[in-house]
Amino acid sequence: MHDNDKLRRAFGSFMTGVTVVTTADVDGTPIGFTANSFTSVSMDPPLLLVCPGKHVASYDVFGTTTHFAVSILSEGQEAISNNFASGPEDRFSNVSWQRDNHGVPVIDGACATFSCRVHDRVEAGDHMILIGHIEHVECFDKPGLGYSSNGYFSLSQEQRADTSGAHDIKSITGAIIKCDDHILVCEKDGRLSLPVIEQQDRNGARSAMQQLLETHQLNAELGPVYSIYDDPHSNRHYTFFLVNAADTSAGGLGRFIPITALDPTQFDDNAMSVMMARFATEVRNKVFGLYIGDVDSGDVHH
The least CB distance from residue 34 to ligand FMN, in Å, is 4
Binding mask of the shown chain, residues 131 to 170, with x at each position contacting ligand FMN by CB under 6 A: ----------------x-----------------------
Which of 74, 81, 113, 115: binder of ligand FMN (CB under 6 A)?
81
160: helix, strand or coil: helix
- Cβ pair 253, 218 in contact under 8 A: yes
What number of other Cβ atoms are within 10 A of residue 281's Cβ? 11
For residue 85, state whether it binds ligand FMN (rule: CB under 6 A). Answer: yes
CA gap 150, 165 in Å, rounded: 23
For residue 58, state whether it binds ligand FMN (rule: CB under 6 A). Answer: yes
Q: Exposure of 100 by Cβ count < 10 A (0-12 exposed, 13-18 middle, 19+ buried)?
A: buried
Q: Mark the segment that binds ligand FMN (CB under 6 A) among 46-54, 115-123, 131-139, 190-198.
A: 46-54
AA letter at 103 = G
Query: Where in 25-44 is the site for ligand FMN (CB under 6 A)?
Result: 33-37
Closest-CA residue to 175 (of 216, 211, 225, 214) = 225
Q: Give Cα separations from 96 to 64, 84, 91, 107 (angstroms).
A: 26, 13, 11, 6
For residue 274, state whether it binds ligand FMN (rule: CB under 6 A). Answer: no
Q: Mark the segment that binds ligand FMN (CB under 6 A) among 49-57, 62-70, 177-185, 238-246.
A: 49-57
The least CB distance from residue 39 to ligand FMN, in Å, is 10
For residue 71, state whether it binds ligand FMN (rule: CB under 6 A). Answer: no
Q: Which H or E element spans position 228?
A: strand 220-231
For residue 12, state whether it binds ligand FMN (rule: CB under 6 A). Answer: no
The full DSSP string for 252-291 is TS-EEEEGGG--GGGBSSHHHHHHHHHHHHHHHHT---EE
- CB nearer ligand FMN, residue 35 or residue 209: 35
- CB nearer ligand FMN, residue 114 or residue 147: 147
Which of 48, 51, 218, 271: binder of ligand FMN (CB under 6 A)?
51
What are the φ/ψ torsions at residue 43 (nearest 5 degrees)? -90, -35
- Cβ pair 192, 267 in contact under 8 A: yes
The least CB distance from residue 168 to ligand FMN, in Å, is 33
The least CB distance from residue 32 to ligand FMN, in Å, is 8
The least CB distance from residue 75 to ligand FMN, in Å, is 14
Cis preceding linkage at 45, omega within 30: yes
Instruction: Sort residue 286 into left (φ over 0), alpha (ψ -120 to 50) or beta.
Output: left
- CB nearer ligand FMN, residue 129 or residue 186: 129
- Cβ pair 92, 168 in contact under 8 A: no
- CB nearer ligand FMN, residue 35 or residue 183: 35
Please give the residue ranges that form the binding site for ligand FMN (CB under 6 A): 18, 33-37, 51-53, 55-58, 81, 84-85, 147
